[in-house]
A = this chain, B = another copy of it.
Amino acid sequence: MGGGLNDQRHMPRPESSVFGMLELRFERRLYGVMVVLGSLRMETLRVKTNRRTQLLDVTDEVADVVAKSGVHDGVCHLFVPHTTAAVMINEHADPDVASDLEGIFDRMVPHKGPYRHAEGNTDSHMKAVMTGASQTIFIEQGRLALGTWQGVFFCEFDGPRDRKLWVKVDGHRKP
């Protein structure tokens, strides 16, 4: 018996891919077996905000993480690791919408309430809860799948600050 299905070195250990190709060599012939390998490691996007309440369009940055992942169909999970910020999906075609929404948030949740939290930003926490810390967007044909007018917004409710948005891509590479 020469050659042989004999070496774990043939197994790729991709760092970021989810769907891999396992190469099996037997009698000097190469056979491919698709297996799910790889990891679901997250990417961290840096966001710099410059107002107290600010909805920032980060669609391009998120789409870029998806494109680089090589995932063809799957999902893109977003998570904000802050308690006075959030992530939303809404219109980015007309920037007046984000601007209007900033105003509604500020009128709806009073900055000065009968609050116990000593930092004076209880309203920021409430706005973050109303918007949400996590979102899941689909990946179709290797691209972030959004509706025609939709974009992804990092929602700052206690800026200006340096913030992070965590992104995790899960799915299959192109068969």
CA distance A2 to B96 in the complex (A): 70
B89 touches A134 (CB 8 A): yes
How would residues 82 to 125 of chain A score, 1 for a CB under 8 Å from any chain B CB and 0 otherwise? Answer: 11000011110010110111011001110001111111001101
CA distance A35 to B36 in the complex (A): 6
Q: A38 to chain B: which residues have CB within 8 Å?
A: 172
A136 within 8 A of B: yes
Total copies of this chain within the assembly? 3
A171 touches B34 (CB 8 A): no
B42 touches A138 (CB 8 A): yes
A67 within 8 A of B: no
A73 within 8 A of B: yes
CA distance A171 to B170 in the complex (A): 9
Interface residues of A in 122-175 (CB under 8 A from B): 122-123, 125-126, 128-138, 140, 145-150, 164, 166, 168, 170-172, 175
Interface residues of A in 43-93 (CB under 8 A from B): 73-75, 77, 79-83, 88-91
Task: State whether A40 and B171 are in contact (beta carbons under 8 Å apart), knowing that A99-B116, A101-B125, A147-B83 are contacts in the complex.
Answer: yes
